[in-house]
Amino acid sequence: AAMREEKIKKTKTVCTYCGVGCSFDVWTKGREILKVEPQAEAPANGISTCVKGKFGWDFVNSEERLTKPLIREGDLFREAEWEEALDLIVRKFTEIKEQNGPDALSFITSSKCTNEESYLMQKLGRAVIGTNNVDNCSRYCQTPATVGLFRTVGHGGDAGSIEDIKNSELVLIIGSNTSESHPVLSTRVKRSQKLNGQKVIVADLREHEMAERSDLFVRPRAGTDMVWLSAVTKYIIDQGWADEKFLKEKVNGLEEFVQNLEKYTIEYAEKTTGISKGNLIKIAEMIHEANSVCALWAMGVTQHLGGSDTSTAISNLLLVTGNYAKPGAGAYPLRGHNNVQGAGDFGSSPDNLPGYQKVTDPEVRKKFENAWGVKLPEQVGMNNHEMVEGIHEGQLKAMYLKGEDMGLVDSNINYVQAAFEKLDFFVVQDIFLSRTAEFADVVLPASPSLEKEGTFTNTERRIQRLYQAFEPLGDSKPDWQIIIEIANRLGAGWAYTHPGEIMAEAAMLMPIYSGVTYERLEGYKSLQWPVMEDGTDSPLLYTEGFPFPDGKARLYPVDWTPTLEFPIEYDIHVNNGRLLEHFHEGNMTYKSKGISSKTPEVFLEVSPDLAAERGLKDGTLVRLTSPYGNVKVKCHITDRVKGKEVYLPMNDRGEAAINLLTSSYADKDTDTPAYKETRAKLEILSEE
């Protein structure tokens, strides 16, 4: 029979590769992707994209896509029909709940999935099963930043828009490799440097591109940012450069804060951080001279024992200098995944219902109980980190995890994978058979963004719609549909037929999303939360005060937590982070030919000094061994890194997977792993 001629189709979508939230049109013919075409009206990116957004999509047609549910039989999987897989899940969930109580189950959503899917996942855990054991992978990256902002300014999101960064006279970039991790956002800064004379200060271990382009680059010792930030803040106050008017009118807690700062002298900071006195004073002077300062930060700040406190110190510094509630100023934690912000917004955490409303607040629970017609659990649940412990200790028996390769991206993966082995029942929902899925009892085939509708919320709190470019591959289904089927088999009676209905329900329950509707997000239209009922949104936060009872922000005293100590033989500090071309463990990008051919493998960046000391060359194969495991990787000699700092990109799935080295130690306030506090010894395996 004659094949039906496939029509060329244009679909608006939102990139899934980072929190910048670029949107663009994808041109397709059948399942073939013809091109990605950015549009001027795209709010976060206009006509720009980076290499991942432009070329990173052919994984959707990879032969390795999961197209059928899989059920474990001994050491192998066999393909199954949906009926059988879903029945098995429902039978096991019910059994485990009856025998061990609801808190023996756990639910992990993905910050790659849509807002609606995260909403349903936490609702399944809370309203259908009855547990707050709900989390998502922002536990691995950005939760400390959110905590730092809640402590000081009251909203867990960027203070302004990406667009607004151009109005800033000084941009502080701390622990963020912005040009590789948030490429399109970094081009905004580069343009403002050129056009507006915007100044940039970079504090990082590694001399990456933004560091090279900065006006001042400082290299604090790993994990000491909190100290220099506090010393600079103290120096500014001591010089009489604080914004007295702003502090008086808009901020509480100055006295106690100043007392606590006492020990953070410039001398102490110089000794602890290794940044020279001259440069510390120069940072203070540059902040003082700028009329507007914004601070961008990422995992170099958050993935430490004191990650929440350092995030808090950044916000304190901005408050002292009056750098909130005006254009070009404020805190910009740069969210990693496309929907880290949204997953948090929609209640994917053990302590918050959607809209950052506390599970422990009886009034909040009553509101959700009335809407959902159930009784909700009252205790804070387990976060990802506690779940791993909970499995090892025998309390947690089952896990339903979607879209996250937790067995590769959590820290100390030998320990995490050993936990998976102990689970009585493990459901993994993904688009590929990830490393984590190999441990599952049932694997459910999900659909990537191009095969579904929904919304994402990017790093600037901007909510955007994505549309379906083509049907799910094989028997795979969008995550929201799978969750509904499981919930309804458990007796939930959910009647959603479209993600728009899920958003309508969520908006009724979440004050910061109250005016969000699919109509208001049609096409390239977008909204930045908080969104009022009449649809007014909030590009710039705090102009009407801070969301605390008296409308004032709070200076929040914090102290430095020294970094992890290691036996002396672990003499190499293993820094880690992204590569431009790859996304996390690379499940998607290694399957995109245009990308994987450019950067087929990761390499270890080694300084010329260390190379000379140990006789390393480009291509030398080395083994790094930490107290938790070892990796094998080839060296690349570069002066981006210094001394005994090495840099291992996090994008490997095999023998060079960074989390074979990392520990289970974590930020004391959020349990975000201290990935950046990793040390190892180095030995040569073979010359190239």
Distance CA 342, CA 349 (A): 12
CA distance 24 to 213: 29
Shortest CB 458 distance to ligand SF4, Å: 8
Q: Which is nearer to ligand SF4, 183 or 333 (CB)?
A: 183
Interacting positions 308-337 with ligand SF4 (CB under 6 A): none
Q: CB under 6 A: which stretch of 45-53, 189-197, 391-399, 608-616 binds ligand SF4?
A: 45-53
Buried b (16+ CB within 10 A) or exposed e, 323-353: bbbbbbbbbbbbbbbbbbbbbbbbbbbbbbb
By CB under 6 A, the residues from 21 to 40 that bind ligand SF4 are 21-22
Give the range of 18-26, 273-281, 311-319, 554-562 binding ligand SF4 by CB under 6 A: 18-26
Structure tokens given for 300: 């170099």
> Least distance in Å: CB of 26 to ligand SF4?
12
**Least distance (Å) between residue 46 CB and ligand SF4:** 11
Type of residue numbered 46:
G
- Among the listed residues 340, 365, 368, the one whose alpha carbon sits nearest the alpha carbon of residue 506: 368
Name the residue with the smallest CB distance to ligand SF4: 53
Show Cβ contacts of residue 571 under 8 Å, excluding neighbours closer than 6 positions. 644, 679, 681
* CB of 257 closer than 8 Å to CB of 559: no
Place of tokens 């493990």: 426
Nearer to ligand SF4, 588 or 661 (CB): 588
| Contact between 17 and ligand SF4 per CB under 6 A | yes
Nearer to ligand SF4, 343 or 382 (CB): 343
Stretch that binds ligand SF4, among 67-75, 178-186, 367-375, 625-633 (CB under 6 A): 178-186
Q: Is 183 in the site for ligand SF4 (CB under 6 A)?
A: yes
Q: Which is nearer to ligand SF4, 15 or 492 (CB)?
A: 15
CB nearer to ligand SF4: pick between 103 and 158: 158
Residue choice 120, 124, 184, 574 for contact with ligand SF4 (CB under 6 A) = 184
Q: For residues 580 and 684, which CB has a smaller minimum distance to ligand SF4 in the complex?
A: 580
Minimum separation from the CB atom of position 370 to ligand SF4 (A) = 38
Is the Cβ of residue 52 or residue 155 nearer to ligand SF4 in the bound state? 52
CA-closest candidate to residue 225, choices 334, 309, 321: 309
For residue 53, state whether it binds ligand SF4 (rule: CB under 6 A): yes
Q: How far is the CB of 675 from ligand SF4 (least distance, A)?
A: 21
In the list 52, 97, 554, 636, the residue contacting ligand SF4 (rule: CB under 6 A) is: 52
Omega cis (within 30) before 530: yes
The span from the CA of 582 to the CA of 588, in Å, is 8
Nearer to ligand SF4, 252 or 596 (CB): 596
CA-based torsion, 352, 356, 362, 364: positive or negative? negative
The answer to the question of residue 49 lying near ligand SF4 (CB under 6 A) is yes
- In angstroms, give the least distance from the CB of 338 to ligand SF4: 7
Question: Order of strands, edge to edge, in the sheet holding 293-297?
Answer: 216-218, 199-203, 170-174, 293-297, 330-333
* Of 18 and 606, CB closest to ligand SF4: 18
Neighbour tally for 358: CB within 10 Å: 13
Among positions 13, 45, 152, 272, the unique one binding ligand SF4 when judged by CB under 6 A? 45
Residue 584 near ligand SF4 by CB under 6 A: no
How much of the chain is in helix, strand and coil states, percent to nearest 5?
35, 20, 45
**Quick one: which of 166, 186, 168 has its CA closest to 176?**
186
Establish if 50 lies at the interface with ligand SF4 (CB under 6 A): yes
SS (H, E, C) 93-109: HHHHHHHHCHHHEEEEC
- Examine residue 459 and tell whether it contacts ligand SF4 (CB under 6 A): no
State the nearest-atom distance from the C-beta of 183 to ligand SF4, in Å.
4
Stretch binding ligand SF4 (CB under 6 A), from 43-51, 61-69, 247-255, 543-551:
43-51
Among 18, 105, 510, 602, binds ligand SF4 (CB under 6 A): 18
Contacts of 536 (CB under 8 A, 6+ apart): 515
Q: Which two tokens stand for residue 21?
A: 């939230």
Nearest distance from C-beta of residue 101 to ligand SF4, angstroms = 41
Rounded CA-CA distance 446/426 in Å is 16
Sign of CA dihedral 79, 425, 630, 665: positive
Give 222 or 579: the residue with its C-beta nearer to ligand SF4: 579
Specify the stretch interacting with ligand SF4 by CB under 6 A; choose among 14-22, 364-372, 428-436, 678-686: 14-22
Q: Which residues of 661-673 are buried (b: 16+ CB within 10 A; e: fewer)?
A: bbbbbbbbbbbbb
Among the listed ranges 44-52, 133-141, 417-425, 677-685, the one in contact with ligand SF4 (CB under 6 A) is: 44-52
Is 19 or 347 the residue whose CB approaches ligand SF4 more closely? 19
Kindly state the number of chain residues that form the binding site for ligand SF4, as judged by CB under 6 A: 14
Min dist CB 460 to ligand SF4, Å, is: 12
Closest to 531 measured CA to CA, from 466, 461, 467: 461
- Give the residue with the Cβ less far from ligand SF4, 272 or 455: 455
Q: State which amino acid sits at residue 323.
A: N
The SS3 of residue 326 is: coil
Would you count residue 419 as binding ligand SF4 (CB under 6 A)? no
Least distance to ligand SF4 from the beta carbon of 339, Å?
11
* DSSP three-state, residue 345: helix
Q: Which is nearer to ligand SF4, 55 or 324 (CB)?
A: 55
Would you call 71 helix, strand, or coil by DSSP? strand
Contact 230, 261 (CB under 8 A): yes
Report the candidate in 446, 443, 432 with the shortest Cα–Cα distance to residue 84. Answer: 443
Decide whether 219 or 335 has the Cβ nearer to ligand SF4. 335
Position 296 contacts ligand SF4 (CB under 6 A)? no
The piece of 20-28, 171-179, 230-238, 530-538 that touches ligand SF4 (CB under 6 A) is 20-28
Where do contacts with ligand SF4 occur on this chain (CB under 6 A)? 15, 17-18, 20-22, 45, 49-50, 52-53, 182-184
